[in-house]
Amino acid sequence: MLHSPKACGQIIREKDGYVMRRYTPGESRPAPIFTSNISGKDAIFGAQNQLEECLVSVIQSCSPKYIFVGSSCVVGVIGDDVAAVCDKVSRQYGIPIFAIPCCGFMNGGYEAGMMAAGRFLIDAFVTSGKNQGNEVILCGILDKTNNYEYEFICEILSMWNIKINAVFPGYTSVRQMEELNKSRAILLCGSYTKIATPYCKIAEYLGQKLHIPVITTPDPIGYQKSMDWLAKV
């Protein structure tokens, strides 16, 4: 959900939402995105009540497992206390509601927002365990569909009877997050790209929560890198 004018929600839905969700198996349309529809009047007098009403409406109509609330630049200017509203509604309905502490382009950007979202999910749904078995977590995969890197990693791991518990955070359900404590290690993928930076931080935070190692060896691309990666795994 976006605490923003309607136009900001349309941009996210048509651009970012479509780009990310088009890769998700079985998804033919972007994930539902709601906006609080801030008006010019709200930009003067504040829109916290409107945000609360919108959150309640989403909960009653969609019964979500959790909600992320992003804020637009307008919210950063008028100073709405988004976190306080989210906490209030979360306690009232017993549903985790996460306020991303970034207001449009005013602070942080995508990397800060992604890191905050990853931390929220880990704190809410991941618990430490005995870490028994032969399962690992992949962190950093942006696209599982028709992805050679992902397919190659799966093929190599299967030779050693190592199972992939989940691809975190983008392809992990609540149930899978609750079972991440069965994993023995986290494999950071895409370490050769700039996009890996926030994923590296998320992987480190997840590793600390689960008390398991994070393997950051460069991806198995080419013979020598593949051998180094296999040795580390």
Render pLDDT for 152-177 as a digit per residue (tens, 0 to 9): 888 888 888 888 888 888 778 889 89
d(CA 145, CA 27): 12
Render pLDDT for 183-217 as a digit per residue (tens, 0 to 9): 999 998 875 555 556 788 899 999 999 999 998 87
3-state DSSP of 119-185? HHHHHHHCCCCCCCCCEEEEECCCCCCCCHHHHHHHHHHHHCCCEEEEEECCCCCHHHHHCHHHEEE
- What average pLDDT does this structure show over 85-94? 95
Q: Which of 72-86, 114-128, 132-146 has the lowest average pLDDT?
A: 132-146
194 inside domain:
yes
Give the model's pLDDT for residue 122.
94
Give the model's pLDDT for residue 144.
67
64 inside domain:
yes
Helix (H, G, I), strand (E, B) or coil at 74: helix
Looking up residue 176, the CATH number of its domain turns out to be 3.40.50.1980
CB 216 within 8 A of CB 186: no
User: The domain containing residue 187 runs over which residues?
Assistant: 135-232
Quickly state the pLDDT bin for 36 (edges 50, 70, 90).
confident
Quickly state the pLDDT bin for 4 (edges 50, 70, 90).
confident
Total number of domains constituting the chain: 2
56 shares a domain with 145: no
- What average pLDDT does this structure show over 5-29? 59
